[in-house]
A and B are shown apart, each in its own frame.
Chain A
């Protein structure tokens, strides 16, 4: 039997950045095909291509031998491709019936009225085929994530669904709910539906999948039969690149403890997080997206209130939930979302650079424009910000230069602790190297630095010590000498062992 879905040399570039290239793979009817890779490996791009959300830059997709009109959601839907996202895009105020049929409700009386009895019967049949029962009249928002997911799947299979894409479907399910989902997947498989299953949970994949495709750095590395594979094989395949040589340079002995975090908890995002960062030390924080790292950073910075625990700087406890107190004590945060949290984009480079020191530069209540200009010039020079002048609007700068601006604005405030959250995400290689050099130089000058990153080579190359977070707690700590990509990933990956039923 020919494969159901065949992709040929798929590629996607955004500007000059390649998100995905040369993806040629196939998915059979009745197959559970797993897709794995690190964050940013290109899995989402592939999903978006199949579902028609993004247009291809290169390549073709065919469904059951016929070429698919790509870059069109209706065309993908008509071809029988459906995606169930982690957070389903359903109508939270409507009930199961309405959600399954919205936009294509069966009608009666010449199309004037909804054919409720038929909807009811049909929904019951669909949900029962998935092992679920129909709960009418309850708004989706009153149901559990698992129930909502089943309703989304029911909607997908209410029309002729050939390929069902599940994106991290078990991310927020309990063990029992997972089992119900796996059973439903097996039923769909038996009915001949192809399943593309995207997950970070390797045990799940080993238990469920027929074949596994591995993505790495925007390329399709390999597709293998799942039979006979183990978790280590998968991790090796995901990491298997040459880790770029990051020269940490001369590591000076770290100084006294600067930042001390004790038992910090903000349920349900993270619990009992404790660690220290010393002067002159770069501590990396690795983990999967959603492990709670950014939330820990925001809580240390005072942007969120902790439920429990404390943060102290040079032994002095910080007032919880008070950004200004944290900044005054010397904490700086370069946030993950530099465009919306790091900078005020419509303001000028100069104005952004002095925002953190605005009142300390003022004389007699008035802004000292000359002092502001001096600070702006100094930071632009120190960061090598490429902009015509400090009067340029920050929005017009490239991502790398915007990031330098965020770092520069914090250095103007002369911090003692610098937290960088995904400092190089979306930044081109050249600017990236500059930012690495900068981070190292600052550490050498005695700054205590915490680098949160989902980019393994980055964490491994920069850090003196690596903390790994998994599902809201620190799952381990690795010294620079012993850290390998495999060890970091093994600590970062979820540990559940679901007993999935193989068909």
Chain B
């Protein structure tokens, strides 16, 4: 996590802590530069804002996922939580509630799903991969069941602004994401909660023996993922003006890819919000450019796969110095 200290024999670049982020940022800049040469219209602000519209759910979910992966956990169920939250939102709205009240209900449903995941992991000691693999199916099943697969639409324009509106030229989902990213970054870097998350990821037993509230923190990170999934669901519903049980399918894998690409160790203990931001950006830009320039959807998957493996190898290269 930290470099090996101010040993005079070590040159500055061995002590520099942000190699992963730096290289990733350079990659993104390189990509954008080449893109601006190949297709100048791709790098205009207008195009970028337009292309960003479907990035925000992924970006939002990557924040709590970073925390979860730092605790050496994983959450595969976030896409399904999104679906369940969206369905709760839609049905509450359909029953006559104010859309904002409906959105709050959706977020609460998402939080409840997250708390369920967290309690099962922390109290029943079931591996998070198993727990969330099960709830990945279960939450979507519930969403399908209660909505009968029926899309719900007809939200008022005042609500759809949440997904489509801009404020000072910035999309509203982007603003929400910015505020949350800042809060998550502060929580991780500057609060007891954040340091405890790292400690738990490295060594849950020693954390427990040091008096850290391991169970409570574990529940909290999964609950946060549920809350943010509920929020992402509200944004998605507002953007598409549709609540349906099939939203967010497969999103969890994109989110995990972005977080790992951002330098968070899948084995827990290390990672930063800054890295995750860059991971999200790298995936988003690569995808959009491939789609924009070659107009071939299937290339996306290959490019993202190559990026991910490259990032993991990169991470290992810079990790060596602390090993």
In the assembly, what is the distance between CA of A327 and CA of B210, in Å? 8
Task: Say whether B269 contacts A358, CB under 8 Å.
Answer: no
- Residues from chain A with a CB closer than 8 A to the CB of B213 are 324
- Residues from chain B with a CB closer than 8 A to the CB of A413 are 211
A6 within 8 A of B: no
- Residues from chain B with a CB closer than 8 A to the CB of A365 are 191
In the assembly, what is the distance between CA of A356 and CA of B211, in Å? 6
B158 within 8 A of A: no
Task: Say whether B203 contacts A345, CB under 8 Å.
Answer: yes
Task: Say whether A323 contacts B208, CB under 8 Å.
Answer: yes
Given contacts A303-B209, A323-B209, A362-B191, contact A344 B203 (CB under 8 A): yes
A396 within 8 A of B: yes
A24 within 8 A of B: no
Tell me which of A57-65, A124-132, A184-192, A385-393 binds B: A385-393
B195 within 8 A of A: yes
A461 within 8 A of B: no
Task: Say whether A341 contacts B209, CB under 8 Å.
Answer: yes
Task: Say whether B211 contacts A344, CB under 8 Å.
Answer: no
Tell me which of B4-12, B129-137, B218-226 binds A: B4-12
CB distance from A353 to the nearest CB of B (A): 10
**A389-433 to B contact mask, C-beta < 8 Å, 1/0:** 101110010000000000001000100000000000000000000
- Size of the A side of the interface (Cβ < 8 Å), in residues, is 37
B46 within 8 A of A: no
In the assembly, what is the distance between CA of A293 and CA of B184, in Å? 43
- Residues from chain A with a CB closer than 8 A to the CB of B4 are 392-393, 396
- Residues from chain A with a CB closer than 8 A to the CB of B320 are none
A144 within 8 A of B: no
CB distance from B217 to the nearest CB of A (A): 11
Q: How large is the interface on B (under 10, 10 to 19, 20 to 34, 35 or more residues)?
A: 20 to 34
A168-224 interface (Cβ within 8 A of B): none
Using CB atoms, name the residue of chain B closest to A325: B211
B192 within 8 A of A: yes
Given contacts A303-B208, A362-B191, A367-B192, contact A347 B5 (CB under 8 A): no
CB distance from A416 to the nearest CB of B (A): 15
B202 within 8 A of A: yes
Task: Say whether B202 contacts A359, CB under 8 Å.
Answer: no
Partner of A409, one of B5, B190, B202, B210: B210
- Residues from chain B with a CB closer than 8 A to the CB of A340 are 203, 205-206
Task: Say whether B202 contacts A347, CB under 8 Å.
Answer: yes
CB distance from B300 to the nearest CB of A (A): 35
B2 within 8 A of A: yes
Binding site for B on A (CB under 8 A): 301, 303, 323-324, 327-328, 333, 335, 340-348, 351, 355-356, 358-359, 361-362, 365-367, 369, 387-389, 391-393, 396, 409, 413
